[in-house]
Structure 1
């Protein structure tokens, strides 16, 4: 089963071909990805209109590159899969219209994929993780803990009540003048810093439930910067603040996930794995903390390779394959969606005390 995947939900334009019936390690036949970092760096963040125009300029070439690397033509494909949301709607539309055109011209089935589900199912692409498993989905726009019961079946145990962890990384990095993208820049600066120098809060730590909050932590960093002596921050000041922020965020996430593990084991006694996915899952201290937590709970810890933590098309192709195996195909009149929750029955926020653990 050969599937072409297309991803354009944010600031990476990507195409990939996946062989769904291949053994682990041989499933991704080809990948082509173009990052827009240089286009957005002057603005310190992703500008939606610039992103959409860049997707439009490059998507055809990236699809051609992925197909050429795979050594196949469109006639050889069994299906296409495309991110249909959630994301920046201009970019999503570019990918969806490209995929629809190819599917229509070559009479191929098409699967509309939830971008978050692409991340959620990536551990099955990389590691054959069996259902059910506990997932920490943590990225620039999302921060959730989910029980992954099956393809298309997700139960949200916790979510952020304000900002996503990746957004917090980016904004704190911008405050400290560390550059863009913020996550990698802040982690690098933190390696030189003392995390104990500044007393920063651990939002939600110790509270009931599995929800997150990062807004207060960002505010605390800003207030700390404002209290510093006048003039530019020294490189050591930046490093110490970066280290303190990163340590506080990791501690907060660890506390929330620890509570989620208790709840997960009660609900799913046969679950065997703690999984993390999304761009922030590339953070080394966070991975180390989660790995130790999983070991204490007698769970396997699975984190996809770093290249599949950030946005990519291989995960979209794989999610499409998972749906195709179950006979699910989209009609060509489906609409791109700027919002698309994995658990449609979950409330907007579970609230600090709504999910007891």
Structure 2
């Protein structure tokens, strides 16, 4: 447990007693501040040390890492390389993971070459971080080659490669890897299950997803926000709205993405009124909607031909939440007006759009012209 007040008291005592010249004391204080999230204080202390050892560098990098400051981790490591600062395998694990988060494939590739050159391929944590990094950067070939060479693969390694294939929309391959994982008798965790559920949702593989849900219950895996949201999204995309609602209600904690997954699912499955009612409940729960939430809301209005509500929510998105419309939001409004037979208004709306309309926008309007036999605008 972190206690910055106690830590600051220790630092004050160290200053008073003249202990700040001791490198071990300095490193411990830096590590304390970094671990407690006060990276600025940790960095300030480290700047006072001319020759930093690898422990001190790792303390700072760990601080940025724990705070999710991936870019700072990468930039600091690049600065370390420029001045020839020492680093070790612990440093590389943090930096490699950060490269994956921000998509810095160049530095990640350099680390991969360094690991090969220095004979570090036996470090499972480091190789797993490389697999994860390559997968997140879209370098699935490199990720697979590293994974295939691993002599010992734990659940983290399996989850990294499965997640990579899922994120690259190679969902059949992801599920095939999950089957191999089961054959290897490696127990999946919640991270694995999120990727598998996402793959099932894309492919519409209902029975496999149901098995995953049963496994989650059987193993009593904690229904985290991420796992619960993946479950809601899976059922919604497979058209099982009642199951999606059940999963939603069983979650102890929900975030905006959880609410959005169910709202979009209801809207896509012809339950627009329920989607809008859920959006009202989201507002009452003080959950801030995202731009994706409004896509679901506008989709619900479109499918229900709720023109005035659609207009109101579109204006609210801009005026009340400061969300600038994307092409998907414009597309929902064009579709809404077109379904309601307001072809002229839909055409004028397109002409006033702040971004260039794409083929999807024009196709939606043309489809409405066909339905309502408006040859003039159709031409």
Relative to total residues, which structure has the larger helix share, 1 or 2? Answer: 2
Q: Which has the larger radius of gyration?
A: 2
Please indicate, yes or no, whether the TM-score normalized by the shorter chain is above 0.5.
no
Structure 1 length as normaliser, TM-score?
0.24
TM-score for the superposition, normalised by structure 2: 0.23
